[in-house]
A = this chain, B = another copy of it.
Amino acid sequence: MRILVTGSKGVVGQKLVQELAERGNSVFGVDIQHHPGEVGYIQRMSNEEWTYSRCDIGEYRQIERVIKEAGPFDLVYNCAAEFGRWNGEDYFEQMWKSNLIGLKNIIRLQEDHKFKLVHFSSSEVYGDYDEEMLESVMDTVEIKQMNDYAISKWANEMQIRNSIKLFDTETVVVRLFNTYGQGEFYHPYRSVNCKFCYHALHGLPITVYKGYFRSSTYIDDCVRTVANISENFITGRVYNIGSNEFHDIETLADIIWKYTKAPQKLIEYKEAEVLTTKIKKLNNDLSIKELNHKETISLEEGVKKTIDWMIDYYRLKR
């Protein structure tokens, strides 16, 4: 199968490219920066096989060119997006452009070129819904998203629904729950898991909000399940992709602080964070049933793997 992965240098994208290639697919990646190995258009820039191009999906000409020159593709995974709540507040121009204009560009091309699409959404669409998050509650409960990033993800899902209705496009949506792990290079807008690990290793402070619960998902488990969609594509489906490893934030900090032996004084405990979902507990029955979702790595194992990788990646001493 010929597959395009947008956001191929991102945390999920880089692993997904690898997984799909190992299964024998021909995989092409795009992301927003130049990288060694890419091939230019007017001037050839490398003699390697062409597997990567710089491409901002928010720029129609660039994504159209990839589809035309590196395609045709049977399947496109759209992992390209500006990620994170605070990122979406501090950088809303990039976020709206990549997430909304970007997906719309892809949908327009999909309507023309007829590839299948897997689009990455987020548990953030569930807003402050405080019961178990089942996919279908988005069709039955009136939910308001609590930040620009969440709103954009939900707007994306509606763009897709409308296109399926109007043009019979074939798309699957996945809503990821707190995916973390090896390969999640740090910046301040990353997952709480990444952030805590990095801060513990660098002697930076963190704030732990009490009584907040998350379903953390190790990257390998997430990516395997997402890759399985290529082998069982049911158009129109929406899947929660996440682990039943349901934990509070105190527990996460405990594991990290024990393993790194970081000073306890770096942790400040607080009671409440504004506009943040208190409990995110997913129901993943559908992805288990149809996508053979499996949890092979516990929170404790996953956090340790993440820390070990970070120490190597940032050339730290233990």
User: Chain A interface (Cβ within 8 Å of chain B)?
Assistant: 33-36, 38, 40-43, 45-47, 54, 56, 59, 61-62, 86-87, 89-91, 93-94, 186-189, 198, 202, 204-205
B93 and A40 contacting across the interface, CB-CB below 8 Å:
no
A86/B42 contact (C-beta < 8 A), A94-B56, A204-B47 known:
yes
Once bound together, how far apart are the Cα atoms of A159 and B44, in whole Å? 33
Contact B47 A86 (CB under 8 A): no
**Would you give 16 A-B contacts (Cβ < 8 Å), ordered by A?**
A35-B187, A36-B186, A36-B188, A36-B202, A38-B188, A40-B86, A40-B90, A40-B188, A40-B189, A45-B86, A46-B204, A47-B204, A54-B91, A59-B93, A59-B94, A61-B93
Kindly state the separation between the CA atoms of A40 and B204 in the bound complex, as whole angstroms.
15
What B residues does A33 contact at CB under 8 A?
A: 187
Taking the closest CB of chain B, its distance from the CB of A294, in whole angstroms, is 32
Contact call B187/A43, Cβ cutoff below 8 A: no
Beyond the given A40-B188, A42-B86, could you list 9 further A-B residue pairs with CB under 8 A, ordered by the A residue number?
A33-B187, A34-B87, A34-B188, A41-B89, A46-B188, A54-B90, A56-B93, A56-B94, A61-B93
Give this chain's copy count. Answer: 2
Chain A binding surface, main DSSP class = loop
Chain B positions within 8 Å of A205 at CB level: 47
A311 to chain B, nearest CB (A): 15
With CB as the reference atom, state the residue of chain B lying closest to A54. B91
A54 CB, min distance to chain B CBs, angstroms: 7
If A187-B34, A187-B36 touch, whether A43 touches B86 (CB-CB below 8 Å) is yes
The chain B residue with its CB closest to the CB of A59 is: B93
Closest chain B residue, CB of each to CB of A43: B86
The answer for the CA separation of A47 and B188 in the assembled complex, in Å, is 12
A93 in contact with B62 (CB, 8 Å)? yes
Which residues of the partner chain B approach A56 to less than 8 Å between Cβ atoms?
93-94
Q: A121 CB to closest chain B CB, in angstroms?
A: 22
Task: Tell me how far the C-beta of A315 lies from the nearest C-beta in chain B, rounded to whole angstroms.
Answer: 10
How far is it, in angstroms, between the C-alpha of A38 and the C-alpha of B195 when the chains are bound?
A: 13
Q: What residues of B have a CB within 8 angstroms of the CB of A189 in the complex?
A: 34, 40, 45
* CB-defined contacts of A59 to chain B, threshold 8 Å: 93-94
Q: Which 10 residue pairs of A and B lie closest in terms of their CB atoms, listed nearest first?
A: A45-B188, A34-B187, A59-B93, A43-B86, A41-B90, A42-B89, A40-B90, A36-B186, A47-B205, A40-B86
Q: CA A62 – CA B89 in complex, angstroms? A: 12
In angstroms, Cα B94 to Cα A94, docked, is 12
